[in-house]
């Protein structure tokens, strides 16, 4: 173990290590089975012997206060677990995403750190609102998506219908690699489409053991399964005729998605998913920096911070910054440079977060996630690098807020704590912080994608910064970026609109609703308003 400011030269070892990595996240609507699938994947990789070790489950989706309690009790495991496990020769990095829609901005940031995503659908529900939102981010970022249709062990919709939904609603060509045999709720197994074989459904109790595959050739399958087998063949053939052959390049280009059917809770289809990730999912690739220059994988160490998490526990005010390694070898003890401040950052305390446990990381390669502890100097979007030249990766996107509230300290004597807290929450991206001369610094406006962000912000202002706040909700729902500052007055003098400035200097025009926005645009045709869906920060 080397310590100090060693600049690790890259080389073939880095390229080889990077190509063993698969770094991905599961995107899904709450309840589709993300935690169950995560456990099943880890189990299959035989890292954990008993399901349930990754996430405790009790009361996971309670009310907000429960969420806070759990967050406190479990330290950082709920929103920030980055799980690493070996599967054969492959190193799997599974990045966790928060389950609640209100934290979708966090999820978006996590997605900036992955190379692919598994879109998990509930067979009875198909594409749900949160899945759609997250898929939009994958599309925006060009992230290839594998689709896993879950809960096939119980009644649900028809396979063809679910595949059609992918084409019709999100324009993604479904390329099924398995196809269910048997009716919904009476699953007999799946057709392994490329091999033309039958894989029998052998449920194992709640994923506590790994079922071996039982396979039959086409002829045996027909004899054994009769009409169910023929129907599965016909349906999958129908889809192939309509959508075309499986084409890995279309998956990489994110225009098509391989589809698997399974039941995570029964451990069915999970191994297939792992094999598919190994075979097909993109390996870490060289990344472009903010100037568009490509940073080779074997260049000296570089990484970017995609998430900063502060322990909610008062006794342990530790702050962990999660960074994805983009190039080179990370070695614990290295002193790296923070590109934002130009200052050195010592990486003595680095952890890998595995469920509720943390273990020290000594070495990490491109695609891996490192958790830098006590990283109070680090912000989301920061680049860390070693050696020369300096490198800075593009900032992370921030999203259109839809909820706005004025924050005021309830204890005016704690103005300093208030300012510090507001600045920190803004920097972490817990909420976006907006201000205007009219409102002044004592009354910043918090903007959020979902209202639960406000509760987290208020809780932390009190518990962590010692400045309790009162939030006064504003009746704005729609935000646009105002491109031309000379037009500020046009928006500001509207009755249902206002201009506020974000910490990064962007002018946001807020409107009571879509109607107010339309009326404003109609009255001022030259107004330069840009959508805020997902912009590079
Ligand atoms: P998450 O909110 O997406 O993390 O979903 P969970 O993993 O907590 O699963 C939600 C519920 O669906 C739980 O009761 C699971 O036991 C159940 N579930 C998950 N996968 C399956 C499956 O394959 N079949 C069935 N029948 N239930 C499942």
- CA-nearest residue for atom 12, ligand 1, is 33
Q: Is pLDDT at 26 greater than 70 in this prediction?
A: yes
For residue 520, pLDDT beyond 80: yes
The pLDDT of 508-512, averaged and rounded, is 95
| Confidence (pLDDT) at 519 | 93
Instruction: For ligand 1, say whether the CB of 31 is within 6 Å of any of its atoms.
Output: yes
Mean pLDDT confidence for 72-77:
35
Per DSSP, helices labelled H in 350-483 are: 415-428, 452-463
Identify which has the larger pLDDT, 258 or 139: 258
Ligand 1, atom 6, lies closest to the CA of 33
CB 196 within 8 Å of CB 204: no
381: left (phi over 0), alpha (psi -120 to 50) or beta: left
Q: Report pLDDT for 64.
A: 31
Which range is least confidently modeled, 227-231, 258-262, 329-333?
329-333
Atom of ligand 1 nearest to the CA of 61: 2
Using a 6 Å cutoff on CB, does residue 151 contact ligand 1?
yes
Q: Is the pLDDT of residue 535 over 60?
A: no
Query: pLDDT per residue over 214-226, tens digit each?
Result: 999 999 999 999 9
- How large is the average pLDDT for residues 485-492? 90
Q: Smallest Cα–Cα separation from 253: which of 168, 113, 143, 169?
A: 143
Predicted local confidence at residue 360, as pLDDT: 59
Query: 173 vs 185, 243, 274, 282, CA distance in Å?
Result: 26, 7, 21, 18
What span, in angstroms and rounded, lies between the C-alpha atoms of 127 and 51?
Answer: 27
Q: Please state, as a whole number, how many other Cβ atoms lie within 10 Å of the Cβ of residue 405.
A: 23
Q: How far is the CA of 32 from the centre of ligand 1 (A)?
A: 6
Q: What is the per-residue pLDDT for 472? A: 96
Q: Residue 198: left (phi > 0), alpha (psi -120 to 50), or beta?
A: beta
Per-residue model confidence (pLDDT) at position 473? 96
Please give the pLDDT value at position 52. 38
SS3 50: coil
Residue 397 banded pLDDT, cuts 50, 70, 90:
low
For the segment 375-395, what is each residue's pLDDT rounded down to a tens digit? Answer: 777 888 899 999 988 999 998
In short, whether 34's Cβ falls inside 6 Å of ligand 1 is yes
| Cβ(84) – ligand 1 distance below 6 Å | no
Q: Half-sphere exposure (CA, 13 Å, Cβ side) for 483?
A: 7
Looking at every residue in the chain, the average pLDDT score rounds to 84
What is the model's pLDDT at position 72?
Answer: 42
Bridge pairing between strands 357-360 and 319-327: unpaired
In b/e form, how buried is each residue of 438-450, taking b as 16+ CB within 10 angstroms? eeeeeebbbbbbb
Any ligand 1 atom below 6 A from CB of 33? yes
Measure 359 CA to ligand 1 centroid, in angstroms. Answer: 28
pLDDT of residue 54: 44
Alpha-carbon distance 121 to 132, whole Å?
11
Confidence of residue 13 (pLDDT cuts 50, 70, 90): very high
Lowest mean pLDDT across 189-203, 253-267, 481-495: 481-495
> 354 in helix, strand or coil?
strand
pLDDT of the residue at 512: 94
Q: Among 25, 30, 36, which is best to mutate for testing ligand 1, by the most ligand atoms less than 8 A from CB?
A: 36
Best substitution site from 28, 33, 107 to test ligand 1's pocket, by max atoms within 8 Å of Cβ?
A: 33
28, 29, 31: residue to mutate for ligand 1 pocket, most atoms within 8 A of CB = 31
pLDDT tens digits for 135-188?
888 888 899 999 999 999 999 999 999 999 999 999 999 999 999 999 877 899
pLDDT tier at 209, thresholds 50, 70, 90: low
Mean pLDDT throughout 430-435? 92
Q: Is the model's pLDDT at 257 over the cut of 70? A: yes
pLDDT at 211 over 90: no
Query: What are the tens digits of pLDDT across the range 93-120?
Result: 998 776 555 666 777 788 899 999 999 9
Give the model's pLDDT for residue 152.
94
């Amino acid at each position: 173990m080397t310590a100090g400011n060693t600049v690790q030269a890259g080389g073939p070892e880095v390229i080889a290590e990077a190509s063993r990595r698969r770094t991905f996240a599961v995107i899904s609507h709450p309840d589709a089975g993300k935690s169950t699938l995560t456990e099943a994947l880890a189990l299959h990789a035989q890292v954990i012997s008993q399901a349930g070790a990754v996430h405790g489950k009790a009361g996971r989706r309670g009310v907000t206060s429960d969420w806070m309690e759990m967050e406190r009790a479990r330290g950082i495991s709920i929103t920030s677990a980055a799980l690493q496990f070996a599967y054969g020769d492959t190193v799997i990095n599974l990045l966790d995403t928060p389950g609640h829609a209100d934290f979708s901005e966090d999820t978006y940031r996590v997605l900036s750190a992955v190379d692919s995503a598994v879109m998990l659908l509930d067979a009875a529900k198909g594409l749900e609102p949160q899945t759609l939102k997250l898929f939009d981010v994958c599309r925006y970022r060009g992230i290839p998506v594998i689709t896993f249709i879950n809960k096939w062990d119980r009644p649900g919709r028809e396979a063809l219908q679910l595949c059609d939904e992918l084409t019709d609603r999100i324009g993604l060509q479904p390329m099924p690699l398995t196809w269910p045999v048997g009716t919904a709720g009476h699953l007999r197994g799946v057709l392994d489409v490329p091999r033309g074989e039958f894989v029998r459904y052998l449920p194992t109790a709640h994923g506590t053991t790994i079922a071996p595959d039982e396979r039959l050739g086409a002829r045996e399958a027909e004899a054994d399964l009769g009409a169910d087998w023929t129907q599965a063949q016909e349906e999958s053939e129908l889809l192939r005729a309509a959508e075309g052959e499986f084409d890995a390049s279309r998956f990489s280009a994110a225009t098509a998605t391989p589809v698997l059917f399974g039941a995570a809770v029964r451990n069915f289809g999970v191994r297939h998913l792992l094999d598919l990730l190994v075979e097909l999912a993109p390996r870490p690739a060289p990344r472009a920096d903010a100037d568009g220059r490509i940073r080779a994988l074997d260049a000296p160490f570089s990484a970017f911070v995609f998430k900063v998490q502060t322990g909610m526990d008062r006794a342990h005010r530790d702050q962990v910054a999660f960074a994805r390694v983009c190039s080179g070898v990370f070695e614990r003890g290295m002193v790296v440079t923070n590109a934002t401040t130009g200052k050195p950052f010592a990486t003595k305390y680095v952890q890998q977060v595995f469920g509720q446990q943390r273990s020290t990381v000594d070495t990490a390669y491109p695609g891996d996630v490192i958790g830098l502890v006590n990283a109070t100097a680090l912000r989301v979007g920061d680049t860390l690098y070693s050696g020369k030249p300096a490198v800075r990766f593009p900032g992370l996107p921030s999203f259109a807020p839809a909820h706005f509230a004025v924050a005021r300290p309830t204890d005016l004597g704690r103005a300093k704590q208030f300012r510090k807290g507001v600045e920190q929450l803004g920097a972490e991206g817990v909420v976006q912080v907006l201000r205007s001369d009219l409102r002044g610094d004592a009354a910043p406006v918090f903007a959020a994608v979902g209202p639960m962000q406000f509760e987290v912000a208020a809780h932390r202002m009190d518990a962590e910064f010692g400045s309790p706040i009162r939030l006064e909700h504003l009746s704005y729902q729609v935000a646009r970026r105002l491109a031309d500052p000379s037009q500020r007055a046009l928006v500001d003098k509207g009755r249902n609109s206002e201009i506020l400035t974000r910490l990064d200097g962007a002018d946001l025009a807020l409107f009571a609703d879509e109607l107010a926005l339309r009326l404003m645009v109609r009255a001022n045709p030259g107004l330069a308003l840009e959508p805020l869906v997902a912009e590079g920060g």
